């Protein structure tokens, strides 16, 4: 196992001592070392066990009751589209209404539970998820075509969210510092706000789903959870953990369904208090527009927590370690097939080292293996579905007109009959080109030449997005300028732009990348609560 960083942030050091006594010092969950034979064999066994469970049908769970529907939602393997994984009941408006009513009714009791008790449940969830981590990773290998390493990291992040947000709930529930007022006893409480609609993405089908949902219920809210239609099976596994740790019925209601019907209905519903969404800019902006309208019977201003897309850039300076930069760009661009909102899709290289950098990058890309991810030798699996594959291929054709194709450029039919695309790199791309401006969300990298470092930052900021970005340079003055000028929510220096760690890298973006909610940070639970000030006169 490899170890990750220890949480020593001054804000988080205010966790009450009893939390430290119970849970110890917070550490990011270490990644599994699959080069060890015992770990590799355990993962193979988990894959076999999960595959033996294929073909089952699963219900909605609303208020603790199983609900079957005539409409069904299939789950399948992107690497083998003909291979069914599971079938789920598919919610429509009727089931959505049932779910929000159950969440609203349960909120009246759940909101009054002891915050410590809710934190304890989160910690039980973290411990149980740790026990099941390889099984959970195996589900993602099949359902979302994640490599062993990417799937394991997804589970590790989910474990961290459960542990971290449990600690944070206790901190939020502790006495808050206020200015003393003579003759008064004053306090500030962070209280839950109401039923939440949680809409997670498929690309981090456990980590983000777990993070948003756990933050909502650990803060005392209830949830209607609508997992992505591309990853309901891993959403079910999270829900099963909630059942096993004893989360009361109705606190989280499991409701796979179509976004255009069930999801949209709940966004507009007067009893929906907030919406936590991670996904595309188009859907996020639609949600933002709809919640601005007041529905009949609505008694609150709905809150939104929106995390959307990115067109993330890595700037490579003339004074950079080019070997490190090439490795970082390759990992950022093609890890999980480029299907991360943090993936590098623009590489901006200063002219003095432009050709040398490309000469170092392309051999790394050539080594990338593509194929079904249950084989650990494959670095890249399939993209999530046929529609995504066709969209990426269309952008690749545009790229052939806008830049110089260096490698890749087509569907990888040799990898199998799944939705495989070759890792693709274009050079000499104009900063205003479509492949340099529009989010592709696949294994397509545009390399752009900059005159100098300042010009590189100018190009990097020329985007409607602002999620993560990276700078590679050994020059301290340039690093300082990058910190000041590069307008992104997460800036990395001399490292890749993917792989944010809970607690260490609170994650969220600027501009059209969302509300910069900083998941995994000390401010996140604030978004799921509302402060209540209480002042009592002392006789």
Q: Are 90 and 71 a contacting pair, CB within 8 Å?
A: yes
330 catalytic? Reply is: no
pLDDT at residue 253, rounded to an integer: 98
Query: How much of the chain, in percent, has pLDDT values that exceed 90?
Result: 95
Phi-psi region of 250 (alpha: psi -120 to 50; beta: other; left: phi over 0): left
Q: What is the mean pLDDT of residues 153-161?
A: 98
The percentage of the chain sitting over the pLDDT mark of 70, rounded to a whole number, equals 98
What confidence score (pLDDT) does residue 444 get? 98
Q: State residue 14's pLDDT score.
A: 79
Give the number of other Cβ atoms within 10 Å of residue 433's Cβ: 18
Q: Which fold has domain 12-24+32-308+517-535?
A: Aldehyde Dehydrogenase; Chain A, domain 1 (3.40.605)
Mean pLDDT for 29-46 is: 98
Domain boundaries, the chain: 12-24+32-308+517-535, 312-500
The span from the CA of 402 to the CA of 281, in Å, is 24
Q: Which of 307, 374, 402, 439 is catalytic?
A: 307
Q: What's the pLDDT score for residue 539?
A: 80
* Residues whose CB is less than 8 angstroms from the CB of residue 294 and which lie 6 or more positions away in sequence, other chains included: none
Please tell me the number of Cα atoms within 13 Å of 76 on its side-chain side. 17
Report residue 4's pLDDT band, with 50, 70 and 90 as the boundaries.
very low
Choice among 341, 344, 347, 497 that is catalytic: 341
| Confidence (pTM) | 0.96
Average pLDDT, the chain: 96
Q: Report residue 91: phi and psi, to 5°.
A: -75, 145
User: What digits encode the pLDDT tens for the residues 48-76?
Assistant: 999 999 999 999 999 999 999 999 999 99
Unique residue bearing structure tokens 């291929």 = 393
Bridge partners for 490 per DSSP: 468
Q: What is the CA radius of gyration of the chain?
A: 23
Half-sphere CA count of 496, side-chain side, radius 13 A = 20
Reduced to 3 states (helix: H, G, I; strand: E, B; else coil), residue 402 is helix
Whether the per-residue pLDDT at 85 is higher than 90: the answer is yes
341 is catalytic: yes
Residues 6+ apart with CB under 8 A from 289: none
Topology at the third CATH level for domain 312-500: Aldehyde Dehydrogenase; Chain A, domain 2 (3.40.309)
pLDDT digits (tens, 9 = 90+) for 171-181: 999 999 999 99
pLDDT at 166 over 60: yes
What interhelical angle do 133-144 and 37-51 show, nearest 10?
60
- The C-alpha atoms of residue 31 and residue 107 are separated, in whole angstroms, by 36
How many CB atoms lie under 10 A from the CB of residue 48?
11
DSSP 229: T
Angstrom distance (rounded) from CA 331 to CA 429: 20
- The predicted structure's pLDDT at residue 259: 77
pLDDT exceeds 90 at position 258? no
Give the pLDDT score at 261.
83
Using CA atoms, how far residue 93 sits from 97, 114, 261, 293, 492, in Å, is: 6, 33, 6, 19, 43
Query: Would the CA dihedral through 57, 61, 67, 69 be positive or negative?
Result: negative
What are the tens digits of pLDDT across the range 294-318? 999 999 999 999 999 999 999 999 9
Q: What is the per-residue pLDDT for 13?
A: 55
Q: Is the pLDDT of residue 5 over 50?
A: no
- Residue found by looking up tokens 């049908």 in the block: 57
Task: Check pLDDT > 50 for residue 358.
Answer: yes
Q: What is the pLDDT of residues 389-446, one digit of tens each?
A: 999 999 999 999 999 999 999 999 999 999 999 999 999 999 999 999 999 999 999 9
For residues 398 and 435, is the Cβ–Cβ distance under 8 A?
A: yes
Beta bridge partners of 426: 405, 446
């Amino acid at each position: 196992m490899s170890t990750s960083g220890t949480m020593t942030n001054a804000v988080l050091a205010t966790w009450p001592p009893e939390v430290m006594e119970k849970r110890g010092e917070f550490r990011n969950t270490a990644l599994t070392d699959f080069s060890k034979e015992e770990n590799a064999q355990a993962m193979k066994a988990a894959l076999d066990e999960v595959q033996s469970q294929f073909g089952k049908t699963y219900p909605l769970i609303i208020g603790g009751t199983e609900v079957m529907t005539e409409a069904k939602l299939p789950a399948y393997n992107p690497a083998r589209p003909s291979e069914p994984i599971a079938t789920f009941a598919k919610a429509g408006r009727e089931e959505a209404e049932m779910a929000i009513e159950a969440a609203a009714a349960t909120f009246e009791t759940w909101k009054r539970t002891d915050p410590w008790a809710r934190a304890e449940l989160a910690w039980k969830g973290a411990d149980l998820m740790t026990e099941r981590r390889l099984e959970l990773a195996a589900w993602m290998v099949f359902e979302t075509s994640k490599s062993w390493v990417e799937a394991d990291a997804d589970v590790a992040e989910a474990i961290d969210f459960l542990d971290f947000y449990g600690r944070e709930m206790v901190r939020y529930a502790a006495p808050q510092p206020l200015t003393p007022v003579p003759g008064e006893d004053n306090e500030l409480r962070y209280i839950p706000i109401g039923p939440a609609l949680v809409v997670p993405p498929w690309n981090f089908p456990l980590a983000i789903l777990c993070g948003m949902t756990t933050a909502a219920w650990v803060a005392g809210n209830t949830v209607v959870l609508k997992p992505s239609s591309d990853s309901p099976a891993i959403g079910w596994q999270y829900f099963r953990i909630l059942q096993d740790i004893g989360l009361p019925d109705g606190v989280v209601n499991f409701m796979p369904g179509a976004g255009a019907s069930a999801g949209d209905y709940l966004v507009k519903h007067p009893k929906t208090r907030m919406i936590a969404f991670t996904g595309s800019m188009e859907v996020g902006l639609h949600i933002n527009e709809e919640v601005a309208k007041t529905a009949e019977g609505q008694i609150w201003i709905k809150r939104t927590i929106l995390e959307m897309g990115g067109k993330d850039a890595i700037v490579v300076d003339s004074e950079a370690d080019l070997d490190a930069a090439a490795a970082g760009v390759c990992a950022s661009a093609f890890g999980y097939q480029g299907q991360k909102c943090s993936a590098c899709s623009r590489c901006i290289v200063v002219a003095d080292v432009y050709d040398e950098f490309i000469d170092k990058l392309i051999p790394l890309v050539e080594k990338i293996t593509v194929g079904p991810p249950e084989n650990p030798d494959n670095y890249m699996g399939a993209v999530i579905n046929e529609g995504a594959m066709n969209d990426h291929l269309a952008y690749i054709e545009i790229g052939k007109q806008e830049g110089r194709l260096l490698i890749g450029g087509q569907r990888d039919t040799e990898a199998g009959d799944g939705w495989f695309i070759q890792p693709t790199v274009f050079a000499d791309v104009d900063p205003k080109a479509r492949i340099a401006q529009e989010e592709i969300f696949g294994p397509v990298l545009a390399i752009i030449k900059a005159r100098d470092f300042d010009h590189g930052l100018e190009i990097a900021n020329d985007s409607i997005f602002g999620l993560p970005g990276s700078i590679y340079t050994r020059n301290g003055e340039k690093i300082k300028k990058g910190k000041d000028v590069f307008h992104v929510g997460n800036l990395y220096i001399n490292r890749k732009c993917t792989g944010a760690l809970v607690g260490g890298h609170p994650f969220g973006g600027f501009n059209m990348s969302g509300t910069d909610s900083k998941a995994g940070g000390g401010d996140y639970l604030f978004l799921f609560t509302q402060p209540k000030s209480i002042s009592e006169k002392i006789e």
